[in-house]
């Protein structure tokens, strides 16, 4: 992938189970097939800077978390069209880190703060439900659940799990 400007710098990538590659740069999302042939590219809204991108387990959806703003998008895993803009009401800070659980729940976290911590937000139906639920704090999403990355996280538990 040749870089021609700073806006072409890669900020995150993910690979779907079928081998497709998703690449996020500072200004766009790019989708490639398993042989790295270009499928689709979309320009992101002006001023929007992606922080993280993840395919859903079935590869049909892509989550995009953004730096510097409480913003999350769900896009098609086939052509990157916008499918949903999950409700982030009440969030301050950003939701740069995104992940899907194996059962399709969408999680996001980042500098978003609430109650003296940095909880994860969770959308039960992959970002199409409102409002989101708090899902604990600073944990790693792994194989359908959350794995705590510290003793403090283990004590916080996960709301609704």
Q: pLDDT tens for residues 24-83?
A: 998 899 999 999 999 999 999 888 889 999 999 999 999 999 998 888 999 999 999 999
What percent of the chain lies above the pLDDT cut of 90?
A: 39
What are residue 30's DSSP bridge partners?
Answer: 23, 41
Long-range contacts (CB closer than 8 Å, 24 or more residues apart) made by 34-40: 39/79, 40/79, 40/80
For residue 11, pLDDT over 70 is answered with yes
- Count the Cβ atoms, other than its own, within 10 Å of residue 59: 16
pLDDT of residue 69: 84
What beta strand segments (E) does the chain contain? 10-15, 21-25, 28-32, 38-43, 49-55, 61-67, 72-76, 82-84, 97-100, 106-109, 119-123, 133-137, 139-142, 145-148
Q: Compute the distance between CA of residue 51 and CA of residue 97 in angstroms, rounded to an integer.
A: 6
For residue 4, pLDDT over 60 is answered with no
Q: Token pair of 14, please?
A: 């993910």
């Amino acid at each position: 992938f040749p870089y021609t400007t700073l806006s072409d710098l890669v900020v995150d990538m993910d690979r779907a189970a079928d081998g497709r590659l998703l690449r996020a740069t500072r200004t766009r999302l790019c989708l490639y097939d398993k042989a790295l042939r270009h499928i689709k590219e979309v320009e992101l809204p002006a001023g929007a800077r992606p922080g993280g991108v993840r395919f859903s387990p079935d590869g049909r959806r892509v989550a995009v978390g953004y730096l510097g703003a409480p913003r999350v998008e769900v896009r098609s895993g086939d052509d990157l069209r916008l499918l949903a803009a999950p409700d982030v009401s009440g969030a301050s800070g950003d939701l740069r880190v995104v992940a899907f659980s194996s059962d399709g729940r969408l999680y996001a976290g980042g500098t978003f703060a609430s109650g003296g911590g940095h909880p994860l937000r969770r959308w039960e139906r992959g970002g199409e439900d409102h409002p989101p639920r708090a899902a604990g704090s600073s944990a790693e999403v792994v194989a359908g659940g959350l794995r705590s990355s510290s003793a403090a996280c283990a004590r916080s538990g996960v709301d609704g799990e």
